[in-house]
A and B are shown apart, each in its own frame.
Chain A
Amino acid sequence: TQLLEQSPQFLSIQEGENLTVYCNSSSVFSSLQWYRQEPGEGPVLLVTVVTGGEVKKLKRLTFQFGDARKDSSLHITAAQPGDTGLYLCAGGVRDRDDKIIFGKGTRLHILP
């Protein structure tokens, strides 16, 4: 069974702090996406990474894809209350089982 494990499950920090959340698997992914979901809404795509070692930046968010394409991290600098939400990673597997797998998410709460 292919799994995407996200850690931590929950994180509550003060505004202005930095944080990193992780997405790990034993599977190799052809691509990996990060989404943010707010209550009552569907997930919104933040970024997709494709190449091992790739780093992408989106304002204060930095996304990295592991060299072996099995893991990824999301680093937020100077967190803001607007960053609050459920962060989901999803990986595309293209082998005998062609699937997109979602992690269970990291619930982030930024305290003003």
Chain B
Amino acid sequence: GAGVSQSPRYKVAKRGQDVALRCDPISGHVSLFWYQQALGQGPEFLTYFQNEAQLDKSGLPSDRFFAERPEGSVSTLKIQRTQQEDSAVYLCASSWDRLAGADEQYFGPGTRLTVT
């Protein structure tokens, strides 16, 4: 497809389990972003990649959160030892090239994570 895709769309994890969330950006988009969104709130920045380089990870809430984009395309957000406060929608977005001035982002549908 032409848009950003994310999988799974829904994930239920027991507290303490590890989860991996996948993002397939728009083909050719250099920049990729991960956000966390609580119910009824705006997206909160987690991390940002330019190709395979993670240029900003200042929004990751703890060292349990890890993101990678090894080949500069697909990205995975991993959360280790999940806690209830990790329950949220995780959004992925891509843009043509942030460093070249393209601030417009194209979002995937999100993964709703529920930690029980």
* Interface residues of A, Cβ cutoff 8 Å to B: 6, 30-31, 33, 35, 40-45, 48, 86, 88, 90, 92, 98-105, 107
Chain A to chain B: the 9 pairs with minimum beta-carbon distance, closest first: A42-B107, A92-B103, A104-B42, A102-B42, A31-B103, A105-B42, A43-B107, A102-B43, A48-B104
Q: Which applies to chain A's interface (DSSP): helix, strand, loop or mixed? A: strand
22 A-B pairs with C-beta separation under 8 A: A40-B109, A40-B110, A41-B110, A42-B93, A44-B107, A48-B104, A86-B40, A88-B43, A90-B103, A98-B56, A99-B56, A100-B33, A100-B45, A100-B103, A100-B105, A102-B35, A102-B42, A102-B45, A105-B40, A105-B41, A105-B42, A107-B40
Q: Is B106 an interface residue (CB 8 A)?
A: yes
- The count of residues in chain B whose C-beta lies closer than 8 Å to any C-beta of chain A is 22
Cα(A40)–Cα(B35), bound, Å: 15
